[in-house]
A = this chain, B = another copy of it.
Amino acid sequence: MKTVAVKNIERADKATIEALGNLGVATVHEAQGRTGLLKPYMRPIYPHARIGGSAITILAQPGDNWMVHVAIELCQEGDILVVACTTENTDGMFGDLLATSAMARGVKGLVVDAGVRDIMDLENMGFPVWSRAVSAKGTVKNTLGCVNVPVVCAGEYINPGDIVVADDDGVVIVPRNKASEVLASAQAREANEDTKRSKLADGILGLDMYNMRPGLKEAGLVYLDSLDELDE
C-alpha cells in the first residue's frame, strides 16, 4: 500500500450537496438506481440526525487512528470524514477531542467502519456519527494508512469528494460527477411520492395504484378464500 495523503480533492456544488442531504438516504438511494448504500450495520450513535457533505476518505489500520489526524487538516467546511479500515475493527478511533477539532474546521459528521467513543459528548455537541460499533477502546498512532484515496467502506467503493448522505436509515454515497443528475432524479421522485402518499392515505391500494393485479395473476398468484383450501 502506498501511504499517501492527497491534499486537494474536487467537491460537488455546495447547494447540490445540501439538497441531497435534505432528501435523505432512502430517496437518494432510489434516485440513483438503488446503488451506493453502505451495509446496514452502520448505525447512527443518536437518532434523528440527517446530513450531507463531501467525503474526506481515510484508510486506517486496525486500532490506529493516526490518519484521522492527518485527514482533519485537509477538511473544509461541509466535509464528512469517512473512515475505512484495512480489516474489521471496532476500536474507538474517534472521540470528543477529534470531534472538537473537526467541528472547528466545519466538518459535519463522521462515517467510520470501526468504533467511536464519547458518544454522549458527541450527541451534546451535535456531531453525528455513523459507525460499526461504539467502543471506548483507545487507539495508537503507529502505522500509516492513506487519506483521500478511493476506499471500500462498509461494502461501498467511495472516492474522495463523493457526496455522503446519512440519516436514521444509514448512509448512501453519490458519485461526485453524478450529483446533479441524482439530485434532479431524487427531487422528481419525492414530488411523485407526495402524490402517491396522498392516494394511499385515502385508502387506494398499492395493488391498484401501481396496477399490480395483472402481473400477480400472470406470475401465478392464486387467491384462496380460506386456509382450508390450501391442504385440499
Contact = CB atoms under 8 A, between A and B. Distances in A.
A150 B227 CA distance: 9
Contacts of A221: 3-5, 70, 144
B2 A222 contact: yes
Contact of A144 (B30, B144, B205, B220): B220
A72 to B, nearest CB: 6
Size bracket of the A interface: 35 or more
A61 B140 contact: yes
A188 interface: no
Interface stretch (A11-19, A165-173, A179-187): A165-173
A63 interface: yes
A136 B100 contact: no
Interface in A177-204: 193, 196-197, 200-203
Interface in A54-71: 61-64, 66, 69-70
Given A69-B212, A200-B97, A222-B4, A155 B157 contact: no
Interface in A1-41: 1-9, 25-26, 29-30, 33-35, 37, 39-40
Contact of A101 (B7, B64, B200): B200
Sort A-B residue pairs by CB-CB distance and give the 6 closest, nearest first.
A40-B135, A62-B62, A101-B200, A142-B142, A62-B63, A26-B136
A133 B197 CA distance: 24
Interface of A: 1-9, 25-26, 29-30, 33-35, 37, 39-40, 43, 46-48, 50, 61-64, 66, 69-70, 72-73, 86-92, 95-98, 100-101, 103-105, 115, 117-120, 123, 133-138, 140-144, 148-150, 152, 155-157, 160, 167-170, 172, 193, 196-197, 200-203, 205-207, 210, 212, 215-216, 219-227, 229-230
Nearest to A151: B157
Nearest to A74: B223
A89 B92 contact: no
A69 B4 contact: no
Contacts of A86: 34, 63, 137
A134 B168 contact: yes
A5 B223 contact: yes
A8 to B, nearest CB: 5
